[in-house]
Structure 1
Amino acid sequence: MVAWRVFHDRFPTADALARRNIPVATQVCSICETNIESIDHLFTGCPKFMDVWQLVFSWCRVPSFFAFHARDLLSYHLTAKNGARVRKAFYAVVLTTFWSIWRARNNHVFNHKQVWVRKIMEEIKVMSYLWITNRSRMADMSWDSWVDLMQLKWDSLGFLYFGRMYSDTLSQLLDLC
């Protein structure tokens, strides 16, 4: 559902609501307060959420790149040449990132919650692990295997090492969320 919404520009962002003649107080992004809130701005142009993507790329040891459109991020996993398992795992992380960014945006807009990049990143790690182990053939994967899959498999592709962000256990990460 997340991928479909991204691909078809079906997230109810401020500009999308205005296009549908639904009154909105302002079309300006409530996170950065500098640009119109569109799907492309929210997922690829908002500085706060760009920081989230940088942490995701760093954690997965994939080269960061500048995406002009949210759709560009949907196909980025296809560049991995290390097998379907790694591609699927990274795709799950990408989808989780979209979901977590949208959730953080909604918490900010509707509940007036502060957006914390590190907290979003922790949620991405935990939720992508839970989604992978509960909705795929990787159900037997341990937390340590998940961390290894996301950090070691990409090395053989010759990608740069950006450093391991966290070495926490799953229970410690769940305490943060």
Structure 2
Amino acid sequence: MSNRDDVWIWRHFENEDFCVKNVRLTLGRNLDINAAPNAFCWNNWATGKSTTFVWRAIDEKIPSAVALTGRGMLLQDMTCKICGADDENAMHILLRCNFVKRVWEAVSTWTNFPMPNNGNSVTELLQSILECHRSRFIRKILHAIAIQTMWILWRNRNDTIFSGKQRTAQMIIEEVKDTSLQGVRQRSKHNTITKQQWSDFNFNE
């Protein structure tokens, strides 16, 4: 307590009055404030939950075992509960798990588009779709399918861990087909796409 008026201070510069410059200096030491922002392309043909999830996953913000450990939780085992081959982070859950690879292979076969391999990140996968030599319509469909696939893979991971439910890769791909078709029908003007067209992935570009 003192007879002086109260003043704002920044804890890293306690001997100086508060100023924005000191805040920026502190942040500049801990963050790359010139780094490019997450250039995620939102797709309104996929569900809001799935797009938000993928946006967070790109920056490892989903509660994977590795992320939870980084937040201070004490976990005895950080390995993937589905394949057990590696530590469970966002990229492993969505792209690199052995089970997940089989799902992506099925998606690639269905859409005739090369989906991820071991070297891909989520950002690279989505960018490769947006830059592929297909019509704008097909690119947006493939983008929505990829987002929906990652969301369903995350839900499958949670069902396996918390409910003991185990589904085959074929069951996952069928859910991807059904939910992504519903999304395109409900959220775009292409509501006349038939289930057979979708299953054959046969459209007039």
Q: TM-score range by the shorter chain?
A: 0.7 to 0.9
Once the two structures are overlaid, the 10-residue window that deviates more, 65-74 or 107-116, is: 65-74
What's the C-alpha RMSD, in Å, of the aligned pairs? 1.9
- 2:32 corresponding residue in structure 1: none
Deviation of 1:146 (Å): 2.4
CA radius of gyration, larger in: 2
Deviation of 1:65 (Å): 4.6
Judge conservation of contact 2:104–2:116 (CA < 8 Å) in 1. Answer: no
Q: How does 1:106-121 map to 2 (within 5 A)?
A: 106-121=158-173
- 1:87 corresponding residue in structure 2: 139
Flag the structure with more relative contact order, 1 or 2, with Cα contacts below 8 A and sequence separation at least 6.
1
1:24 to 75, 80, 94: 75
In structure 2, relative to structure 1, the CA distance for the partners of 1:17 and 1:134 (3 Å cut) is same
- The alignment partner of 1:75 has SS state of helix
Percent identity for Structure 1 against Structure 2: 27
Q: For residue 116 of structure 1, what is the amino acid of its counterpart?
A: T
Deviation of 1:137 (Å): 2.4
Q: Which runs of 5+ in 2 are unaligned?
A: 1-51
The TM-score with structure 2 as length reference comes to 0.68
1:51 to 95, 102, 105: 102
Q: Which runs of 5+ in 1 are unaligned?
A: 155-177
Deviation of 1:83 (Å): 1.4
Deviation of 1:153 (Å): 6.2
2:112 to 61, 78, 81: 61
Answering whether residue 66 of structure 2 is matched by residue 15 of structure 1, we say yes
Q: Distance in 2 between matches of 1:142 and 1:6?
A: 32
Deviation of 1:105 (Å): 0.3
- 1:157 corresponding residue in structure 2: none
Q: For residue 91 of structure 2, what is the amino acid of its counterpart?
A: D
The alignment covers a number of residue pairs equal to 153
In structure 2, relative to structure 1, the CA distance for the partners of 1:131 and 1:56 (3 Å cut) is same
2:189 to 137, 142, 146: 137
- The alignment partner of 2:63 has SS state of coil
Cα deviations by residue, 1:116-174 (Å, 9 ceiling, x for unpaired): 111001000101101111122222322233234x24669xxxxxxxxxxxxxxxxxxxx
Q: Distance in 1 between matches of 2:131 and 2:171?
A: 28
Q: Distance in 2 between matches of 1:14 and 1:130?
A: 32
Q: For residue 129 of structure 1, what is the amino acid of its counterpart?
A: L
* Structure with higher helix content: 1
Deviation of 1:10 (Å): 1.7
Deviation of 1:62 (Å): 1.2
Q: For residue 90 of structure 1, what is the amino acid of its counterpart?
A: L
Deviation of 1:48 (Å): 0.5
- 2:198 corresponding residue in structure 1: 146
Deviation of 1:102 (Å): 0.4
Q: For residue 98 of structure 2, what is the amino acid of its counterpart?
A: P
The TM-score with structure 1 as length reference comes to 0.78
In structure 2, relative to structure 1, the CA distance for the partners of 1:25 and 1:131 (3 Å cut) is farther
- 1:37 corresponding residue in structure 2: 88
